[in-house]
Each structure stands twice: as C-alpha cells, then as structure tokens.
C-alpha cells in the first residue's frame, strides 16, 4: 500500500501515450453495455446488407431488360425500391442504437474520470497544467462523444458493406472476384498499414500541439488583469502565435500521413481499368453475362468509394484513438483511487483522537527537501499555533497533517491509525483544512456554503452563520443567503471570501480543524471575533492555526515554531 501510494504520488501523465492494446484496455469499459452494443451492430449489419444487395438487383434488371421481359423489369425495379426502403428504416434504427450504446460508454468514462480526478492525490493535480487536464476531461471527451455520434456508425456501416459486397461478388464470379482481390488488396493493405504506422505518432503530435495552444490561450484569459496591469499582452500573445505556428506544422505533417490513404484511389483506378478489360473479355467470349459485368462495374465503384470512406474514417478514428488513449492513460495513472460507494463501512477511527506526525520528511522536487524529520503530537482538544517565517514549511505541514499530501518517509496518524488507511470520506470527517485561498463557485452564498459534505439544509446554514456571529454580514448582503456572489465569488472581497470558507468549516464537526492563514485577509476586529467563536464552538476538538498575525497566535495555548523545515521549539502561548 505504501509503495503504491508513492508511485501514484510521482506518476505523471504522458503527452502522447501508447495506443497498443487499446481495444483490450477499452473492453472493461464496454463490457457493461455489451448487449446494447451487439443489438446495435446487428441492426447496422442488416442495414448494410440491404445496401449491398442493390447492385445485384440492378444486375438482375439489366439481364431481364436484355431478355426483353417487361413484367420482370417492373418486378426487378420494385425489388430495388424495396431494398432502398429497407435500407432507410434500418439505417435510422442503426444510427440511433449506435449512439445510444456509444454515449452510454462515453458517459460512464467521463463520470469515472471525474471520480478519479476528485479522488487522486493533490500533488498529482498540482504537477499538471490545469488546461491540459481540463482538455483531456472536457473537449477530448466530447470529441470522443462526437466520434461515437457520427463516425462510429459510418465506420461500422462501411465495414459491413465491404464484407457483404465481397460475398455477393463471389456468388457471381469467383475468378473475377479473385482477380479483383489480387489487383486491389495487396497494394491497398500495404498502403493502409503504412498509413496506420505513421498515423499514431503524427496525430498524437497534432493533439499535443493543440492542447498546448489551448493551455496557453486559457492561461492568457485567466491572467487577464495581470497582463492588463503590466501591459504584457504580447508575452502571452507571442506564445500563442508560436504555439499556433507549431500546430500548423504538426497538422500539415498529419495531413501528409493521411495522403497515404488517398493513394488507395490510384490503386482503384488501376483495378477499374484491369476489370474493364478482364470482365469485358470474359463477356465477349461468353463466359459471363453482360449482367454480371454490370454488377461488377457497379459494385466495384461502391466498393471503392467505401474503401475511400473507410480510410477517411480511419483518419477520424485515429484522432479519437489518440484522445481515447490520453483518457485511458489518465485513468490508468489514477487507478489507485477507490471506487466510490465502496465506502460506507463502519468507521475505523473514533470521533475524537490525537493527531501525530513521526519523522516526517517531504520534498516537492528531488533536490530540495522542505520538511526534515518533523515529529509533532496534537492531543485531542489541543489549541496550537504553527508559527515561523515564510517558506519554513508551515503550509506543507498543514497539507500533510490533513492527509492532502503523503509524506515521503515517516507516518501521520490519527488516533493511532495511519491516515493512508482511513477511507477518504472518513478522513475528511475527522480532519478539515481551511487554506488561505478560497474556492468559490458561480452562484449564491447558499450554493457556496453547501459546498461541504452532508448536504446541509437552510437551518444548518443559518446555524453556522449564527455560530460565527456573522448574521450582520449576511443580512447586509443584497439577498442574504440567496445573494448572487458573481462569477467565482468575484463580488466578494478577499476577506469576505474567507468568511465563506470559515462558514463552510463551521458546518462540519471534525476532530481536527486546521486553519492555514484562514483569517489573514479579514480585518483584525472581525478576525478576533470569529477566532474566538471558532475556539468556543467545540471545546473538545483540536484546533491548529497557521498565522502570521501576532494576535491570532497569542490566542492559542501552545505555539510550535518551524524554521527551515524543522520544528524549532514548542512553547506555551
């Protein structure tokens, strides 16, 4: 377990992950929907069968026309019409069914990947650009959905059509079919294989360049005010222009690779010419009927356009395969995240308990260790301030103590149990961390307060507001709890945003509450009032406060000083 945890903490996503065994890796995600998939494929097969039977029906028309049979002509023409109707009905059913099956798979995948991102190590998220992760989970997933919606039905239709046409042609004339196969197959297969080989790296590179441009664009829009106030628009713009230049190069390379599939059309031209001569000679010598020649000429044209379509679809599929591989890579890297719902076990830890760190070391990069052999104990009900200069490792320690980071060596325990062995939901019920940076969602104050486990109702929200004596502040907002806070809480000041975070914490009853500069942006008078309220709120719980403000530190019973990643002293506050 410990080893596994370390590997996950260090794992990094690949830009262009391998596409080997993609089908085998996809199977577990397809399995739950196999019945629907089978039905969809069968209906698709029937719809392509109807299409494949149209040339023979026309061949039949030719023969009866040459025989001068007028009734036969009408019957044969009606057969063509009947096939067209069958094709229409079946095609519609097949498309709807395929999308139904495909979308179910994609939905399950996107829900799963979100579960994984929610459960994966915080360090994992911090190591990746949000833009890249977001692209994998949003636009690449919707690309995948798009493939399933439009390209997958076509792909199956073409494959089915090629199969049925071959069977029909064999029934008409084995030697001609063999000749066709001889002229057409080896060259086509060779071209398509060479295409496939070169396609994976070329399309991965294109996707990677695209993700890069998306990340830069996104970074630029998010750093808007910074760029405006520093007048540095050009820095990001130049990067975006450079990203785009590289994207064009990658796209052109990918297109050159795709041309290999267009070369198939040349082979088709050769086959056309050879067949005209061969079938023509056979008919001239009376070996086959003119009707058979017609069937071959017609079927071949459809066959060829199907192969061209197939190669185009393979190109599309390559893009989707790349996105799919990137998604599976994300799922594989985060595969240690337990499935949700498996949790409601009996709790493994008591409601209150001691939190302790033993010989804890931690580093972000290999060459710079942030914490050295930290040993510290917080008995139940303790009131501790963690003090120390900026960069002494206080915030890192708070993330370790709350289980958001895992120590490289050493142990963090709650009530004697290693944090790694406590199920995530239970861990969070025991230890809550309020960092300085507050995350607000676009919506009302109530929406934002409800961003805690346990689905609190209005009374509980009002209760928390009362407990922190913030009734006046809430009453002062436009609509009280229902005040719209704007995009990501933009209408609140930094201090007010911190009030929201503290209110959220007040809705919970953890054994250990860690406040990391959680009142730093609030004015001293209000901060003092709230800190006292939090202190009084639940006497038996452990409160760990990281602060620079002397008044905040003075309110704590004990002060632990950190310097250069080491515990320096522990004193009564």
Partner 1 sequence: MNRADVRLLWSCVREYRGQVLVSILAGLVFQGASIVLPDLLKQGLDQGVVGGDRGSLVIWAVIVLVATLVSVGGLLGMLWSAVTYSTAAAGGLRERLLDHVLTLDRTADRFGAGDLAIRGTRDVDAVRAWLAGIASLVSGACGFVAIVVAIALLDPLLAVVGLAVVPLIALASIFYPKRLASVNADLSAAHGRRADAVENLLTGAESVRGLGAERVLVDVHHRDSAEVTTHTFRVARVAADWTALAPFIPAAGTAIGLAVGGPAVASGALSIGGLVAFTTWMTMLSGWIGMLTTRFTQVVQAMTAARRINEVLQAQPTVRDPAQPMPLPSRGALELRAVDLPGGTLSERVEAGEFVAVTGPLGSGKTRLTRLLCRLDDPAHGDVRYGEADLRTAELREVRQRITYVPQRPTMVSGTIAENLALGQPGRTLAELREACRGAAIDAEIESLPDGYETPVGERGSTLSGGQRQRLALARGMLAGAEVLVLDDVTSAVDIATERTMLANLRAWATKTATTVVFATHRSAVLEEADRVLRLPSPVRRDLVPTAGAVDG
User: Coil, strand or helix: which one is 511?
Assistant: coil
Question: Encoding tokens for residue 16?
Answer: 């262009």
Listed residue (420, 427, 434) closest to 8, CA to CA: 420
User: Coil, strand or helix: which one is 404?
Assistant: coil
167 or 273: whose CB is closer to partner 1? Answer: 273
Cβ–Cβ < 8 Å for 397, 371: yes
99 or 374: whose CB is closer to partner 1? Answer: 99
**Near partner 1 by CB under 8 A: residue from 46, 54, 205, 464:** 54
Smallest gap from Cβ 204 to partner 1, in A, equals 16
23 or 341: whose CB is closer to partner 1? Answer: 341
Question: Encoding tokens for residue 275?
Answer: 């067949």
Smallest gap from Cβ 307 to partner 1, in A, equals 13
Smallest gap from Cβ 379 to partner 1, in A, equals 22
- Asked if 236 is part of the footprint of partner 1 (rule: CB under 8 A), the reply reads yes
**Near partner 1 by CB under 8 A: residue from 25, 30, 142, 535:** 142
Please list every residue from 148 through 207 that binds partner 1, using CB under 8 A. 149-150, 153
54 or 199: whose CB is closer to partner 1? Answer: 54
Please list every residue from 378 through 397 that binds partner 1, using CB under 8 A. 387-391, 395
H or E element that contains 321: helix 290-333
Residue with tokens 């067209």: 84
Please list every residue from 427 through 446 that binds partner 1, using CB under 8 A. 428-429, 432-442
**Near partner 1 by CB under 8 A: residue from 2, 38, 42, 89:** 89
3 or 472: whose CB is closer to partner 1? Answer: 472
Strand pairing of 431-434 and 417-418? unpaired
From the list 20-28, 81-89, 355-363, 376-384, the region that binds partner 1 by CB under 8 A is 81-89
Q: Which residues sit opposite 545 in a β-bridge?
A: 385, 515
- Asked if 550 is part of the footprint of partner 1 (rule: CB under 8 A), the reply reads yes
| Separation of alpha carbons 439 and 398, rounded Å | 18
CB crowding 295-334: b at 16 or more within 10 Å, else e? bbbbbbebbbebbbbbbbbbbbbbbbbbbbbbbbbbbebb
Handedness of CA 345, 350, 353, 358 (dihedral sign): negative
Please list every residue from 339 through 358 that binds partner 1, using CB under 8 A. 340
- Asked if 328 is part of the footprint of partner 1 (rule: CB under 8 A), the reply reads no
476: which residues sit within 8 A by CB, 6+ positions away? none
Q: 3-state SS string over 135-164?
A: HHHCHHHHHHHHHHHHHHHHHHHHHHHHHH
- Asked if 261 is part of the footprint of partner 1 (rule: CB under 8 A), the reply reads no
From the list 79-87, 162-170, 328-336, 371-379, the region that binds partner 1 by CB under 8 A is 79-87
18 or 175: whose CB is closer to partner 1? Answer: 175
From the list 5-13, 98-106, 346-354, 407-415, the region that binds partner 1 by CB under 8 A is 98-106
Please list every residue from 441 through 470 that binds partner 1, using CB under 8 A. 441-442, 450-453, 455
489: which residues sit within 8 A by CB, 6+ positions away? 438, 440, 441, 442, 448, 497, 500
| Separation of alpha carbons 308 and 160, rounded Å | 14
Q: CA torsion, points 105, 314, 325, 114, in degrees to nearest 10?
A: -30
Smallest gap from Cβ 432 to partner 1, in A, equals 6
**Near partner 1 by CB under 8 A: residue from 259, 344, 540, 572:** 259
**Near partner 1 by CB under 8 A: residue from 338, 416, 425, 471:** 425
From the list 7-15, 172-180, 299-307, 410-418, the region that binds partner 1 by CB under 8 A is 299-307
From the list 159-167, 173-181, 182-190, 275-283, the region that binds partner 1 by CB under 8 A is 275-283
5: which residues sit within 8 A by CB, 6+ positions away? 336, 406, 420
| Separation of alpha carbons 319 and 335, rounded Å | 24
From the list 5-13, 182-190, 373-381, 501-509, the region that binds partner 1 by CB under 8 A is 501-509
Smallest gap from Cβ 20 to partner 1, in A, equals 27
CA angle 359, 362, 363 (to 5 degrees): 155
| Separation of alpha carbons 303 and 54, rounded Å | 12
Cβ–Cβ < 8 Å for 500, 566: no
From the list 160-168, 350-358, 502-510, 536-544, the region that binds partner 1 by CB under 8 A is 502-510
348 or 441: whose CB is closer to partner 1? Answer: 441
**Near partner 1 by CB under 8 A: residue from 24, 346, 368, 572:** 368
Smallest gap from Cβ 24 to partner 1, in A, equals 26
Give how far Cα 456 sits from Cα of 428, 434, 447, 485, Å: 16, 18, 11, 19
**Near partner 1 by CB under 8 A: residue from 40, 176, 199, 214:** 214
Q: Which residues sit opposite 558 in a β-bridge?
A: 384, 572
**Near partner 1 by CB under 8 A: residue from 8, 137, 314, 384:** 137
- Asked if 231 is part of the footprint of partner 1 (rule: CB under 8 A), the reply reads yes
φ, ψ of residue 347 in degrees (nearest 5): -60, 145
Smallest gap from Cβ 176 to partner 1, in A, equals 13
Task: Render 86-143 in DSSP notation, one character per residue.
Answer: HHHHHHHHHHHHHHHHHHHHHHHHHHHHHHHHHHS-HHHHHHS-HHHHHHHHTHHHHH
Alpha-carbon radius of gyration of the chain: 34
- Asked if 70 is part of the footprint of partner 1 (rule: CB under 8 A), the reply reads yes
- Asked if 42 is part of the footprint of partner 1 (rule: CB under 8 A), the reply reads no
**Near partner 1 by CB under 8 A: residue from 3, 367, 459, 540:** 367
- Asked if 4 is part of the footprint of partner 1 (rule: CB under 8 A), the reply reads no
**Near partner 1 by CB under 8 A: residue from 4, 6, 7, 230:** 230
**Near partner 1 by CB under 8 A: residue from 1, 24, 284, 572:** 284
Smallest gap from Cβ 21 to partner 1, in A, equals 27
């Amino acid at each position: 377990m410990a080893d596994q945890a370390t590997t996950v903490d260090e794992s990094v996503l690949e830009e262009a992950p391998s596409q080997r065994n993609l089908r085998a890796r996809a199977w577990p995600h397809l399995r739950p929907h196999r019945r629907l998939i089978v039905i969809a494929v069968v209906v698709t097969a029937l719809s392509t069968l109807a299409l494949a039977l149209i040339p023979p029906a026309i061949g039949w028309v030719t023969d009866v026309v040459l025989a001068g049979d007028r009734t036969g002509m009408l019957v044969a023409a009606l057969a063509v019409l009947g096939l067209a109707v069958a094709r229409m009905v079946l095609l519609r059913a097949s498309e709807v069914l395929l999308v139904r099956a495909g979308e179910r798979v994609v939905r399950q995948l996107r829900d799963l990947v979100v579960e994984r991102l929610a459960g994966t190590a915080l360090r994992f998220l911090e190591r990746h650009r949000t833009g890249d992760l977001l692209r994998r989970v949003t636009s690449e997933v919707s690309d995948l959905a798009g493939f399933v919606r439009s390209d997958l039905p076509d792909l199956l239709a073409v494959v089915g059509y090629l199969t049925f046409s071959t069977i029909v042609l064999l029934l008409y004339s084995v030697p001609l079919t063999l000749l066709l196969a001889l002229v057409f197959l080896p060259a086509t297969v060779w071209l398509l294989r060479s295409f496939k080989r070169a396609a994976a790296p070329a399309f991965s590179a294109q996707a990677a360049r695209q993700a890069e441009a998306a990340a830069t664009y996104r970074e630029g829009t998010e750093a808007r005010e910074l760029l405006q106030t520093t007048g540095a628009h050009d820095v990001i713009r130049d990067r975006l222009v450079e990203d785009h230049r590289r994207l064009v190069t990658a796209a052109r390379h990918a297109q050159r690779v795709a041309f290999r599939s267009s070369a198939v059309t040349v082979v088709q031209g050769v086959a056309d010419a050879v067949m005209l001569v061969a079938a023509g000679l056979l008919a001239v010598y009376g070996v086959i009927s003119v009707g058979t020649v017609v069937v071959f000429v017609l079927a071949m044209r459809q066959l060829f356009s199907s192969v061209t379509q197939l190669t185009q679809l393979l190109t599309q599929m390559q893009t989707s395969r790349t996105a799919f591989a990137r998604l599976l890579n994300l799922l594989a890297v985060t595969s240690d995240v337990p499935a949700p719902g498996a949790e409601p076990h009996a709790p493994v830890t008591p409601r209150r308990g001691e939190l302790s760190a033993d010989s804890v070391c931690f580093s972000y990069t290999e060459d710079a260790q942030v914490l050295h052999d930290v040993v510290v104990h917080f008995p139940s009900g303790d009131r501790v301030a963690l003090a120390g200069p900026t960069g002494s490792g206080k915030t890192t320690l708070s993330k370790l103590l709350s289980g958001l980071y895992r120590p490289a060596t050493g142990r963090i325990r709650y009530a004697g149990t290693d944090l790694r062995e406590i199920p995530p939901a239970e861990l969070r019920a025991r230890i809550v961390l309020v960092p300085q940076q507050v995350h607000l969602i676009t919506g009302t104050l109530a929406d934002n307060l409800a961003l805690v486990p346990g689905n609190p109702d209005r009374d509980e929200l009002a209760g928390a507001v009362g407990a922190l004596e913030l009734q006046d502040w809430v009453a002062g907002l436009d609509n009280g709890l229902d005040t719209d806070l704007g995009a990501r809480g933009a209408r609140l000041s930094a201090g007010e945003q911190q009030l929201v975070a503290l209110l959220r914490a007040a809705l919970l009853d953890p054994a250990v509450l860690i406040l990391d500069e959680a009142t730093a942006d609030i004015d001293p008078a209000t901060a003092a009032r709230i800190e006292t309220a939090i202190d009084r709120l639940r006497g038996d719980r452990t409160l760990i406060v990281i602060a620079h403000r002397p008044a905040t530190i003075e309110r704590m019973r004990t002060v632990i000083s950190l310097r250069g990643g080491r515990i320096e002293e522990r004193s009564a506050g």
